[in-house]
A and B are shown apart, each in its own frame.
Chain A
């Protein structure tokens, strides 16, 4: 049976296994984000000169099942600092990416992220946004949207007490050192393809030595959102995107 068929699509080439079993929650899209990154790295032939800096997020599991040099979890929020140092001390053709969650990047990590963008650091930050602190069981994050219930905003986030969510892609786009900032989602094959395109454009800004690059990826977190996985994708398309529109917010070739 195996002789008369050809593989069309399967496990990405850069995915490897660890001696201990590691799995995401049912429907969690960290795996899909990792796939999008792996495919982008392979398309651009970057795997040999890549270092993956994983923040404090469930998604740092992907750092360890990637066949590239990796470090993680680095201190909360600080991945851009670690990545920047590596970029400065290593050969210029080394490509450094960070993979961070929203709770990591725009709460404690705000200094690190904003400063890296302002410095026009030649690194690429990928922030997977599931609008809560997922790893710790679903607490409110700076990206939780108004009305969204979390374990620390059980009545729904209210602007009076909890203020307003932070749009990271737009924030980063507003800094002069940013060469590229975009937001994608993985809620459909079309969105998956667009997100891959954003990731590749971001990496190209680093390769071409233009400036800082940033891709935010909206991602499902079914256990913490309290919805079935497919419902989560619909919630992203119908609710989350209202606060976090998809698209490219900055794309320049000189700073």
Chain B
């Protein structure tokens, strides 16, 4: 079924989840993603799928944990303050190893912050905001189409690795209406979820299953000791880093300067790159699509080739840390940060002109 619709990035999440045969949504109101919750409320029950508005984000993530442990495809959506509330249970999910998708529509932070946009949860999402050293795959859409597509990839990767996957959106990607082609993406088939809980009578041999997040005291079949769990996580992380990096590149070959940006900043940076090219400046760009695992190698390669690096992100510098990790001090690196927003109250954004001015100081 192919359909062209005009919807915002938030609603695109809903259609993408539907295409991925998602079974349940559990969520709570928070701006700027309320129309995600409302979309699921309108579209899921009539399709015999589960929609529940929970009593808090802490509740949402625990509903997600329950639904995931039952082997279903489940999703929640929130914004930055709600994301903070989810950390303890994300840590449990990281230990128990059950798949689920969390959509984070970033807004300005910290604290109550703004109800608009921001890119200030990057570090928390990619390094793991909760305790214990788990890692979540983080996908960063920059358009409504990509939001629709990446949600489907998120469900697939979650099931493939028995891991939480974060879809890292922001208030601008979420609320900007664009043309979206609704389509069901195909992925490699995955084994059945033999580990899922459903009542032992539903298995042929009537054996029971247990799930735990406390292998220090209680062994599970998959991880019969705490050390076994650490080993499993380590191997899983290495495999994800090796096989799941995704990114887009633009005009890299003859570039003197490479922009690095994700989400709404990537749209800004792309516009600045086009304007620069029109002026004869040789600008290119790398756009991470997975921010964990981060595309260190392609960024490092550019730095090794002597290209200057300009990071654009609506924060004080979080993805910057990953770019610095990739580049070391091989080349000159600058940041256009949230301090360059055009307006001091919550509606301020980074404009392409600001990025262009910065580029001129670097390669003109």
Contacts and interface: CB of A to CB of B under 8 A. Distances in A.
Interface in A31-82: 47-51, 53, 61, 63-64, 66-76, 78, 81-82
A86 B70 contact: yes
Interface in B348-364: none
A71 B63 CA distance: 14
A7 interface: no
Given A71-B210, A71-B211, A75-B89, A48 B201 contact: yes
A71 to B, nearest CB: 4
Contacts of A111: 55-56, 58-59
Interface in A60-110: 61, 63-64, 66-76, 78, 81-86, 88-91, 94-95
Given A49-B201, A111-B58, A111-B59, A85 B65 contact: yes
Contacts of A72: 212, 214, 218
Q: Decide if the interface of chain A is mainly helix, strand, loop or mixed.
A: mixed
B67 A86 contact: yes
A47 B200 contact: yes
Nearest to B209: A69
Contacts of A70: 197, 208, 210-211
Contacts of A75: 62, 65, 88-89, 92
A75 B66 CA distance: 11
B58 A78 contact: yes
Interface residues of A, number: 40
Nearest to B88: A75
Nearest to B98: A71
Question: Which range contains the number of B residues in contact with the other chain?
Answer: 35 or more
Interface string B35-65: 0000000000000001010111011001111
Given A71-B211, A73-B214, A85 B197 contact: no
A253 B263 CA distance: 53
A53 B65 CA distance: 12
B74 A71 contact: no
Given A48-B206, A64-B210, A71-B211, A115 B55 contact: yes
B347 to A, nearest CB: 34
A48 B212 contact: no
Given A48-B199, A70-B210, A112 B88 contact: no
Interface of B: 23-24, 26, 50, 52, 54-56, 58-59, 62-67, 69-70, 72, 74, 88-89, 92, 96, 197-202, 206, 208-214, 217-219, 224
Given A20-B218, A84-B63, A89-B23, 13 more contacts: A48-B206, A49-B199, A69-B200, A69-B208, A71-B69, A71-B210, A74-B65, A78-B59, A81-B59, A85-B67, A89-B24, A89-B50, A89-B72
- Please give me the 8 A-B residue pairs with the lowest Cβ-Cβ distance, nearest first: A48-B201, A85-B66, A82-B66, A81-B62, A49-B199, A85-B63, A78-B62, A69-B197
13 contacts: A20-B217, A20-B218, A51-B70, A51-B199, A63-B210, A68-B200, A68-B208, A71-B69, A75-B88, A78-B62, A78-B65, A82-B62, A82-B63
